[in-house]
Every structure is written in structure tokens, then in C-alpha cells.
Structure 1
Amino acid sequence: MTGVRELLRCLQLVTIAALALALGTCVSRPGLLEQIDTLGTLRVATVNSVSTYYLDADGPTGFEYDLIRDFAQKLGLRFEMIVLPDQQAVLDAIASGHAHIGVGVAVSERRRGRVRFTPPYDEADLEVVYRVYKNKPQTLADLSGDLVLPANTAVADWLRANRPDVAFTVDPQANTEELMDRVASGDLAATIANADIVAMNQRYYPKLRVAFDLEDVHQKTAWAMAGNGDGGVDDTLYNEAIAYLEETKANGRLHILRDRYFGHVKRLGFVGGHEFARQVDNRLHLWEGYFRRAADDYDLDWRLLAAIGYQESHWDKNAVSPTTVRGIMMLTRAAASDMNVTNRRDPAQSIDGGARYFIRMLKRMPEEIDQPDRTWFALAAYNVGYGHVMDARRLLEAQGRDPNLWVNLRDALPWLTQERYIAQTRYGYARGHEAAAYVGNIRAYFDILTWMTNNRTTQEPPALAEEESEGGTEVAESPSISIDSPAF
């Protein structure tokens, strides 16, 4: 009997062990997405730049910020932005598990050895930039030994792999935008940057020029992720990211975001940017106090009002158009009468009246138009009239396109000059091309003024001026748009 009991006991132990083993093989480790859901926060690594993520007066913004925010909302997750000094640090954060995902990362073969990239969702030319008045380089070979890049970039990886004959220096303390600043000031001969970043910075540095593009080389941008940390590869978050990015391409959301952040950056050109810089030095200080006062009174950004004023009159209080609109804000007689402006040449009255007229347009826009598009719609109405903007919206609706997006309205405004569309409108012909360009220019001026004032040291606002200075209009050669501030 004892032997039988021992045998039964052994069988029980074997059975228990087998069940435990079976249960152990059935219980799998939670997927990465499930782990993040339990944690409650998606950790997102990025760099602080004009093309990815930055803080403005209204809080966090940027192309990549909007993209990842929409993704997190789709998954029902909170997210945390981890801002790092460069993309190498972003890759380190992903590889170490400190971040779940890296956004706005330039793809290179060398980097593929460390992280997994989604299929690229953006592609841009790479441009060699130099300073005007210097000898224009024609080839990379012309720059061998003089080219400076940030450390650990995809461009540097490409040069090492494909152009070992080109000697270049890396600056571990500088990002691409800082290097472009130094090129514009004459401290460096040249650098290489994404074409979008070049276009945005040319507004601030009118002496920055493009020498040439890197032929057949494009900077591809993707999101980067790691495996699950134990040698396996968890696809849950990765697959969701790919599906989301493909969806944003298909439904037009990616195009809308690109237009919102980059669609206006080439509006000024070199001549327009240089002239704007000149007038900032010569005229803005005369009227800044009035712009600030009106902005405070009506809860607006004074730099937006200043941008409107520059587009309208180049801040010339005596400006008169062929159609007799006049003053800094170029008010018509009817608009001036509605705003109780008795003297359109009076800068204080003109700016105050222009601010109130813009507010009127802003408030009249349909509630379903969200910011920032609402502001661009109101600017178009300021230029071409509310009725014509509504006509353009109706034309969009007739074509099945969303009438509440600026990227669509910008397409539709020029239709107001075309006979086949005019018959479908209530208010008839309008110079729609001009209105579309008008908004684009103001967006560019506003961005420049925002950049300038964010770099200005703390100081008292300028006093309200009565008359424009009679001094000369020429300014000393400067590498960047400047104002009277040690920041420049």
C-alpha cells in the first residue's frame, strides 16, 4: 500500500507540474500598447524646433505635436512630450525604453540598426545654404573642409557613406537653425538643412541663400520605436502608428497640418523679407504702442495687428490706394464709418478701427470654423469681404469639400475670378487670388514678428509716436531681421 500511495503522490506532483507549465505557457506578457494603456501615458521623445514642437503664447504647438496629439486621442491615451537636445538623444531615449515613440526623426540606414521606423510620412529636399555676397558654391567638393553640420544627423550619416571625399566638421553644441544663423552672419561658410527648415529661416535671415540641392537625396521623416526590450519585437504600438499615419494621408489630415505650419513659409521671397526687415527698423517702433493698446483692448495679439498693418500699408500712415482706401490699416470709407473712425490718416484711429473691423469679421465666421483657420478666414474677409468668403465656402460645399478648412478656402478663393463659378455666387466677381496671397503674407509677417519678439530682451514698450522720423531710410547691413535689442 505504501508503494501505491507513493506512486499516486508522484502522479499528482507530475500532474500539478504539467498544469503549472501549461498555465505558464498560456499567460503571455502584455503587449506594449496594453502596458502603455495601464500606465496611462504615452511618452513621446522629440526635439524643440520650429518644424516639430515648441511653445507659443497659447501653449504647445508644432506639426509633430499636432500629429502625435491626434494619435494619442485616437488611442484614448494621455501623452507626455520629452524634449531632448538632438535626434541622437531621441534615439537613445527610445532604445533605453525611456520613451515609447520618437516623432519627426530623419531616417538613415545607420539609424535603422537601433530603432524601427514607420514608413516615412514626409519627404523634403536637402539644401546647401550659404550667405549672399559670398562666392556661391557649386558642388559639395567646393565646400570640402568648410561645411559644418550638427552632430549625429542623418545628413552626416549619408555623407560618410556616400561622399567620403567631402570633409566636414560637426558641432555637437549646435542645431541646424543655429548653424543657419551663423552662416547668415558670415561666421560659417555653409551647412545643409531640410528645405522646409531653410524656407522658414530665410524669413528671419534674408541673407541666407540656397546654393544647390543634394541631387537624388531626400530627407525622409518617420516615427521611431523600439522592440519590447527582451529580444522580441512587439508590434502593437507600431501597427497602430502605421495605420494612423496611413489614415492621415488618405483623409487629407496630413496635408492640412503641413499647410498649417509650412504652407505660407515661402510667401515673402528674398526681396520681400529684406524690405520687411528694413521697415521693422525704420517704422514699427513708431506705431507699436498703438498696436499693443488696440490688442489689449480687444484681446488680440498685437503682432497680428502689426502684420495686417504692414500688409496693408507698409506702416505708412499716409498710404492711399487707387481705390481711395487709406491709412495704416487701409480702411474704406464705409468701414471707417462703421467703426466711427473720423480720420483714417490718424494712426491711433486707423489701428483701433482696423482691430475692431477684424474682430467683426472673426465673430461673423460660422462657429464650426476652428482656430487657427478661423483667423485666416477672417483675414480673407478683411481683404475681400465677408460675402465673397461665404461664396467661396458655398462653392466648396457644392464640390463636397470641407468649407471650414483654410487649405480648401485658399483653393476656392481664386474661383471667384472665373466665369464658370461666378454664376453660382451671390456676390459675383472678387479678386480671390489677391485674398489668398494676402493671408499668406500676413501669416509670414506674423511668424517673423513672433520670432523677433520672443528673442527680444525685456524692455519697456515703445512710446506712442506722433510723427515718423525724418532721418534716412537706409539701415546698416545686418545678417538677420533686427530690432533695437541685444538679442540681435
Structure 2
Amino acid sequence: MPAFATVSSRRLWRGTALLCSALLLALLPHHGGTPQGAHLQEVLARDFLSVHTRNTPTTYYEGREGPTGFEYELVRRFANHLGVSLTLDADHHIPDVIEAVREEGDLGAAALPLDPTLEGVLFSRPIMPLQPLLVYRRGLHPPEKIEELKGLEIGTLRGSGTGRVLRELQVEHPWLSWKESAELEVAELLGQVAGGTLDAAVIFEHQFRLNRLFFPEVEDGFTLGKPLSLAWAFPAGRGLGLVGEANRFLDALRRSEELDALVARYFGHDDYLEYVGARTFIAHARKRLPRYGELFREAARNTGFDWKLLAALGYQESHWEPRATSPTGVRGLMMLTNATAGDLGVDNRLDPAQSIHGGARYLRQIEERLPASIEGDDRLFMAMASYNVGLGHLYDARKITEMRGGDPDRWRDVRDSLPLLQEREWHSKTRYGYARGGEPVIYVRNIRRYYEILAYLDRSQEQFHELNARLPDRADTELFEQVPPVL
């Protein structure tokens, strides 16, 4: 799916400077008849960078606010650095990316392992380490060393680099055998483990950190071999200008610590919902949510919110229990107070339809009352916090944020101020006084993460149907090719 970046005057200036550099590179000695700067010069002349990638949570996907993903963020910044637009071809699996890079396009950015032995491609400098990890289905005896893998059905992704590590281990452990698939992605592979087709799989640590919340039936075992390196792939035979510029870009990103910040942002979080909570939530999403899914969708159509966000809020409020009642008297699936229900025209708070529609309208009313200066996700998160703690206390937290030198229109600054409403030193200076300000922080965090799980489950269901459409007559076991032992 193509994605295009905008061109600013600063980018045009940078592109002009790079074009001059490319012309100078073109004057350098040729290698195999190709000017060293030919590829970079070609990209700048046509004014776009063509990238081959994969549609996965660790590389590139469509999020709530548009294209996102670790490698998408990197190539988007690289295109901006060059001063050109960006086009993406994400209709690939790993082996296809390398082949596509050889034949067309400018680079491959798809969680590719650096492999200097591959013919027809050049690699950038390492971007981040890739540590192979053995994961297994919950309920099996937890394997702690390679000898305990005997007899297990193990799967991995062809071309990801994990197969190379397994082959190296096979030298010392000739009995080792596994299955490789060129047609699955990490989430589908973990689904095979969770579903019992496989006992275990070998993926990378960062991939498991990103996916483990959605597969509570899968446990991490132990690391295998030495880390590999994630890198970008470029076509060989078109000069070194583009790969050289990519290396300079990545070096600058590393020196400024922006690269480390991106790695932490996309892969740094792990147990943000403890496993038991995640398993419970997924179980309820499969059993309880279908009863109310259409009500959430209808409320979303009427109010303009994402239905999964409303469902996540409903779970945080009541665990989708329509008769839930708190000690303070709030009731129903969306836990409305009696006064709020009256203002919304809800005469039966225990009726799921009235509660869901009322809660959605209430969230929209709060959002519309916020100052126009609060925009985007900051506006949404503050509206959700107000749903929990009240709009008055949110305004107090914004005032405290200003007193502390923060930005009252940024959720991350207001989030840091909300817990101060519990301290007399601060709440004595506000209009509405004391509040349990730590609660809305946890409240918003949980809703965001419940939303992530629902979005993942929704996306995985679509991918499952797409996979079935691609492979209508094939059993799960036919997706793999067995790598036999070398006994």
C-alpha cells in the first residue's frame, strides 16, 4: 500500500544538497561500469524512494492515525532526509523482499537479517540486534536448554535469519530438526503454537515482546545462539551512493540517540498488562464482547469514535458486565452516575444498549468541551481521563501543569500532573481540590492497551481470512517444509 511523504522547503534544500553530492559521487571511479553515485542520483532525480517491506506489527502497518511501524518510521525519516517522497510495497514475505530488491525498487526494510553471503544485494550497517528466542506452548514442560527440544514440533520463518542460527546449532546437535514456512508471519506462527499445530517456534526477542500480549498461551523459553543484526538491503550493481547515504543517516540517528529512542518506543514495553489480565481480557473479548459488539459499532457510528475504543472503555469500566454496580452508585456496562444518566436521557442504566449509547455520547460531550488548543490523541486521552475523574479535576491538572512549566495541551505533561491532585501542596491551589489523580492515569493507560489488543485481534482475524483465501485447500502442516536432522 503506497504511502507518500510531503515535501517541505527544508527538504527541497536538503534534496538539492544531496543531489550535488550524488553528482560528485557520479564523477568517482566506476565499479563494473556503474557510477558509484548512480543509484542515489536516480532516486533524487525521480523524487521518490521505493521501499519493499512487510505488513507486520514490527515493520509497517496501518494504525489508527495512519501508517506506522518501526521500519516505516525509519524509512519515512530517511526519505525526508533525502528530500523525496516515499512509496511502499508491503505485499511481501521475507524471501520475496530480497528478490524484489534484486529486481526493482531502492531498498528492502522488512526485519531483514544482515547476511553478506547473499548474492545480488548490499546491506547497510546494523540497525539493531536480533536475538533468536525459543517460545513454546503453555502447558508443555518448560524447555530450558537445547537438549530438551527433542521430540518437539518446532517452526520458524524462512529467510528471517533464525533458520541460519538453527543450522549452526545443528552442527553440534545433529538430531535437531524443525519446520520452515515462507508463507506465514510472526503472528501466524505464534498462532500455530497457541493452536497446537506446533509445540514451539524460534522468533526474535523483540518480536515476542511486541506480540506476547496477544498470545497468552505462548511462553518464552530461552535464547538461541548469538544475536544477528537487522539491516536494510540494497540492490548490488547500482553503485554505493544510496547505501552510503543510508549509513550516514543511520549513524547520525544513532549519535543523536534518536535510534535508541525509536527502538525503545516500539519494542521497549513488555509486561504492561500482566499475563493473567491479558488472558482474562482475551477470553472476555471472545465470549462476552460478541453480545455487545454491534451496540458498540452502532454507538461508534453515531458519535464518530472507533468502536474498539468504546469497547475498551466499557471493559475498563465494567468488564462488559451490564449489571455492574460500584460502591459509589455508578451502574451499568459504561458505569454512568445517576445524574449523568439523567442528563443523557438514559432511564435504565442496566440496559446494555442505553448504557453503551449513553456512555459514547457522554465521552463525545466531554471531548467537545475541551479547549480547541488540545488536538489529536492528546484530546482523546484527556477526554477519557475526564470520563473517569471529571472535567473539573482535569482542568485543575492542566493548571498544575502550567505552574510546573509543562504544556497543558499535551497529555504526557498533564498525565504527570494528575497524581499531584492527591497532594495538599498542589490540590490546595486548585478550584476543585483533592482527587485520586493516579487513577485516571492508569485508566487511560489500560484503555489504550485494551484497544491495542482489540485492534490486534480484529486485524489478526482479517489476516486469518486473507490467509485462508490464499491457501483454501491446504492444511496447516503443508505451510511448512521440514528441515531434517543431519544424523
Whether these two folds match at TM > 0.5 is: yes
Equivalent residue number for residue 386 of structure 1: 391
CA deviation vs aligned residue, 1:383-438 (integer Å, no higher than 9, x gap)? 22334444445555555556555555555544444556546655444334332322
Secondary structure, aligned partner of 1:271: helix
Question: Given the alignment of the two structures, is residue 185 of structure 1 paired with residue 185 of structure 2, yes or no?
Answer: no
Name the CA distance, whole Å, in 2 between partners of 1:402 and 1:46.
Answer: 37
Q: Tell me which of 273, 276, 286 is aligned to 2:278.
A: 273
Equivalent residue number for residue 310 of structure 2: 305
Question: Given the alignment of the two structures, is residue 203 of structure 1 paired with residue 203 of structure 2, yes or no?
Answer: no
**Does structure 1 conserve the Cα–Cα contact (< 8 Å) formed by 2:114 and 2:230?**
no
Q: 1:29 to 1:230 in 2, by over 3 A?
A: closer
Name the CA distance, whole Å, in 1 between partners of 2:117 and 2:435.
Answer: 52
Name the CA distance, whole Å, in 2 between partners of 1:64 and 1:369.
Answer: 29
Equivalent residue number for residue 4 of structure 1: none
Deviation at 1:75, TM superposition (A): 3.8
Using the TM superposition, name which of 35-44 and 268-277 deviates more: 268-277
Using the TM superposition, name which of 391-400 and 371-380 deviates more: 391-400
Question: Given the alignment of the two structures, is residue 249 of structure 1 paired with residue 258 of structure 2, yes or no?
Answer: yes
Deviation at 1:190, TM superposition (A): 0.8
Secondary structure, aligned partner of 1:47: coil
Amino acid at match of 2:148: D
State, as a whole percentage, how many aligned pairs show the same letter: 35
Secondary structure, aligned partner of 1:191: strand
Aligned residue pair count: 428
Equivalent residue number for residue 321 of structure 2: 316
Secondary structure, aligned partner of 1:300: coil
**Does structure 2 conserve the Cα–Cα contact (< 8 Å) formed by 1:317 and 1:347?**
yes
Name the CA distance, whole Å, in 1 between partners of 2:272 and 2:388.
Answer: 17
CA deviation vs aligned residue, 1:121-145 (integer Å, no higher than 9, x gap)? x557653211111111111231156
Equivalent residue number for residue 212 of structure 1: 222
Q: TM-score normalised to the size of structure 1? A: 0.74
Q: 1:253 to 1:220 in 2, by over 3 A?
A: same
Deviation at 1:205, TM superposition (A): 2.8
Name the CA distance, whole Å, in 2 between partners of 1:186 and 1:34.
Answer: 51
Equivalent residue number for residue 249 of structure 2: 240
Q: TM-score normalised to the size of structure 2? A: 0.74
Amino acid at match of 1:140: I
Secondary structure, aligned partner of 1:164: helix
Q: Tell me which of 445, 460, 476 is aligned to 1:440.
A: 445
Deviation at 1:244, TM superposition (A): 4.5
**Does structure 2 conserve the Cα–Cα contact (< 8 Å) formed by 1:227 and 1:233?**
no
Amino acid at match of 2:108: G
CA deviation vs aligned residue, 1:197-248 (integer Å, no higher than 9, x gap)? 3244333333112223458x55654444456624788623442344356557
Larger radius of gyration: 1
Q: Tell me which of 106, 115, 118 is aligned to 1:100.
A: 106
Amino acid at match of 2:106: H
Q: Tell me which of 36, 42, 52 is aligned to 2:43.
A: 36
Name the CA distance, whole Å, in 2 between partners of 1:75 and 1:399.
Answer: 39
**Does structure 1 conserve the Cα–Cα contact (< 8 Å) formed by 2:323 and 2:332?**
yes
Deviation at 1:35, TM superposition (A): 2.4
CA deviation vs aligned residue, 1:121-171 (integer Å, no higher than 9, x gap)? x55765321111111111123115633211122333334446633424223
Equivalent residue number for residue 133 of structure 1: 139
Q: 1:286 to 1:161 in 2, by over 3 A?
A: closer
**Does structure 2 conserve the Cα–Cα contact (< 8 Å) formed by 1:264 and 1:443?**
no
Q: 1:304 to 1:184 in 2, by over 3 A?
A: same
Q: 1:420 to 1:350 in 2, by over 3 A?
A: same
**Does structure 2 conserve the Cα–Cα contact (< 8 Å) formed by 1:31 and 1:236?**
no
Name the CA distance, whole Å, in 1 between partners of 2:317 and 2:334.
Answer: 6
Name the CA distance, whole Å, in 1 between partners of 2:91 and 2:438.
Answer: 42
**Does structure 2 conserve the Cα–Cα contact (< 8 Å) formed by 1:128 and 1:191?**
yes
Name the CA distance, whole Å, in 1 between partners of 2:314 and 2:293.
Answer: 11
Deviation at 1:354, TM superposition (A): 0.8
CA deviation vs aligned residue, 1:47-97 (integer Å, no higher than 9, x gap)? 110122123576533333244334434543211112253334334444x26
1:449-460 paired onto structure 2 within 5 Å:
449-454=454-459
Name the CA distance, whole Å, in 1 between partners of 2:362 and 2:393.
Answer: 16
Equivalent residue number for residue 483 of structure 1: none
1:39-438 paired onto structure 2 within 5 Å:
39-55=46-62, 60-94=67-101, 96=102, 98-108=104-114, 110=116, 114-120=121-127, 122=128, 126-144=132-150, 146=152, 147-161=154-168, 164-166=171-173, 167-169=176-178, 170-214=180-224, 217-218=226-227, 220-225=229-234, 229-230=238-239, 235-244=244-253, 246-247=255-256, 249=258, 254=262, 259=265, 266-393=271-398, 395=400, 404-407=409-412, 409-418=414-423, 422=427, 427-438=432-443
Name the CA distance, whole Å, in 2 between partners of 1:249 and 1:119.
Answer: 15
Secondary structure, aligned partner of 1:276: helix
**Does structure 1 conserve the Cα–Cα contact (< 8 Å) formed by 2:341 and 2:349?**
yes
Equivalent residue number for residue 460 of structure 1: none
Name the CA distance, whole Å, in 2 between partners of 1:126 and 1:366.
Answer: 48
Secondary structure, aligned partner of 1:43: strand
Secondary structure, aligned partner of 2:288: helix
Using the TM superposition, name which of 204-213 and 417-426 deviates more: 417-426
Name the CA distance, whole Å, in 2 between partners of 1:266 and 1:385.
Answer: 29
